[in-house]
Amino acid sequence: MKKGLFVCLYGVLFTASVYLYSHVYSRPAVEDAGRLLPAQVKTIEQADGEQTLKKIVQEANRAGTQLTIAGMQHSQGGQTYYPGAVMIDMKPFNNVIDFDPEEKWITVQSGATWDDIQRYINPDGLSVKVMQSQNIFTVGGSLSVNVHGRDIRNEALITTVKSFRLLKPDGTIIRVSREENAEWFPYVIGGYGLFGIILDVTLSLTEDELYQKRTRELDYRDYTRYFGQQVKENEAIKMHLARISVAPSSFLRSMYITDYIKAQNQDMLTSYNELKEERIVALPKLFLGLSRYSEWGKETFWDIQKQYMLQEDGSFESRNNVMRSETDFMDYESGERTEVLQEYFIPIGEFASYIDDMRNLLEKKDEFNLLNITIRYVEKNDQAVLSYAKEDMFALVLLINQGKSKQEVEQSKAVIQEMIDITLNHRGSYYLPYYSFPTKEQLRKAYPLAPAFFKKKQEMDPKKRFTNYFYEEYQQ
């Protein structure tokens, strides 16, 4: 009797341990750049070929498994993974498929990075039209969030897409363009990987050019007028970047702006078109680190940033190199803290009053550690269903240092929701690739077509084969 009970107990424990190992401990733990949503996925599958990807989707359909799609994972709200799902790592799927320098287009697999493209097309004197301010991201990931960049003469990334091939949730492959299977086009681009796997994409390109930098200081109240009169109306200005101070003595008042003006002598381009690599970043990394922990550090970092850019006034740089911004100095490792991004879009005419309202809010939030605000221009574009640029807007990218404890996350959430309310009150919107701090009501106010987006997702993927944290949080 005792022996039988022992055997039975042993069997139960053995079965439980096998279950725990196979369903919990053996599952890979993943997190994205935000480091606030660690999760255990079922497996991580490498996208080492088109047939492999088809098999992954077909097997998921047989087994009823959910899928997520990951590139460099610089989104910060779990848009690239979900607990228990199979995460597909697209980075190995990175070949250049076709290239026509005369017609100025290139076809690449979606795991290719913008750096891969730049290295391929730079010898032919060509450049991409739209990408983020860094070139480290995958093309598929950039399409999934419909990025914008510094170029003020091209709109969002969607405008540069000629066509792409899509591996649908049912395992079939279609070509998508504005003319072919067009109903998929505005949902997949800016669709956060919820409608299938982008296999490859054909992008239109432009000429590489030589730019001369013009940098000056500015009061925030003069920015709208300056941009309208001095920048937007000057066709020679191709790119634009601004920063507004987060240093206590000039908090959200002082700015510097940099315009990239097409050089009159383009023959000089050959002296500047060698692609630059990351340089020594120890000094800016040091001062950014100091700015995380003291007001003196913020003052010093702001002064160094500003003086460096002012010293660069009049210097030359190729278009491709302008789009190869250095990022290594922003790397941050901490067990207890992380750095998150927010991005808000504000109509140009609302800028000064918006900044006043944000200052009035943030000067009362001593615990809110704001490190940097970069400002770009985004032209109105409604081609994607989840379009963030409802009219011509300034995009403000905020870098925030915060703790990872539950209490600290809740503190950040409260402040960010207040900032979003201010943004919405100024007819603005916010970018979706970040942590799920916004409420569902805020999402629907910023993106009135969100219900139509989620409805189309249900129609095109009725078995919910593709998912992620963003979808699960906001779909209802």
Contact between residue 287 and residue 300 where contact means Cβ atoms under 8 Å apart: yes
State the pLDDT at residue 33.
86
Residue 253 lies in a domain: yes
Residue 148 lies in a domain: yes
Determine the length of the chain: 476
Amino acid at 142: S
The closest alpha carbon to 394, from 250, 214, 223, 247, belongs to 223
How many Å apart are CA 398 and CA 362, to the nearest integer? 13
Q: What is the CATH number of the domain that holds 220?
A: 3.30.70.2520
Q: 10 Å Cβ neighbour count for 401? A: 20
Coil, helix or strand at residue 302 = helix
Final residue in a domain of this structure, among 192, 207, 222? 207
Contact between residue 365 and residue 415 where contact means Cβ atoms under 8 Å apart: yes
Note down the domain range covering 127: 96-207
How many Å apart are CA 127 and CA 352, to the nearest integer? 34
The answer on 341 and 377 residing in a single domain is yes
State the pLDDT at residue 335.
80
Distances (CA, A) of 397 to 306, 365, 374, 392, 400: 17, 19, 5, 16, 10
The answer on 428 and 300 residing in a single domain is yes
Residue 308 lies in a domain: yes
Tell me the torsion sign for CA atoms 149, 154, 155, 160: negative
The answer on 245 and 333 residing in a single domain is yes
Q: Kindly give, in sequence order, each residue whose CB lies less than 8 Å from that of residue 286, ignoring residues fewer than 6 positions away.
A: none
Distances (CA, A) of 138 to 69, 116, 169, 332, 410: 12, 9, 21, 21, 31
Coil, helix or strand at residue 348 = helix
The answer on 221 and 203 residing in a single domain is no
The answer on 158 and 242 residing in a single domain is no
The answer on 260 and 122 residing in a single domain is no
Final residue in a domain of this structure, among 174, 207, 240? 207
State the pLDDT at residue 26.
61
Contact between residue 262 and residue 207 where contact means Cβ atoms under 8 Å apart: no
How are beta strands 197-207 and 316-318 bridged, if at all?
unpaired
Q: 10 Å Cβ neighbour count for 28? A: 12
Final residue in a domain of this structure, among 153, 172, 207? 207
Q: What is the CATH number of the domain that holds 110?
A: 3.30.465.10
Contact between residue 344 and residue 419 where contact means Cβ atoms under 8 Å apart: yes
How many Å apart are CA 65 and CA 56, to the nearest integer? 10
State the pLDDT at residue 281.
63
Residue 43 lies in a domain: no
- Low-confidence residues of the chain: pLDDT under 50: 7, 10, 12-25
The answer on 160 and 214 residing in a single domain is no
The answer on 151 and 257 residing in a single domain is no
State the pLDDT at residue 287.
78
How many Å apart are CA 182 and CA 162, to the nearest integer? 12
Residue 194 lies in a domain: yes
> What single DSSP character describes residue 271?
G
How many Å apart are CA 342 and CA 352, to the nearest integer? 19
**pTM score > 0.95 for this model?**
no
For 405-423, give the DSSP string: SHHHHHHHHHHHHHHHHHH
The answer on 435 and 336 residing in a single domain is yes
Residue 39 lies in a domain: no
The closest alpha carbon to 428, from 342, 341, 352, 354, belongs to 354
State the pLDDT at residue 11.
52
Tokens 């003006």, located at residue:
261
The number of distinct structural domains making up the chain is 3
Residue 159 lies in a domain: yes
The answer on 405 and 273 residing in a single domain is yes
The answer on 203 and 239 residing in a single domain is no
Residue 52 lies in a domain: no
The answer on 264 and 191 residing in a single domain is no
Tokens 């079965």, located at residue:
15
How are beta strands 86-89 and 43-46 bridged, if at all?
parallel
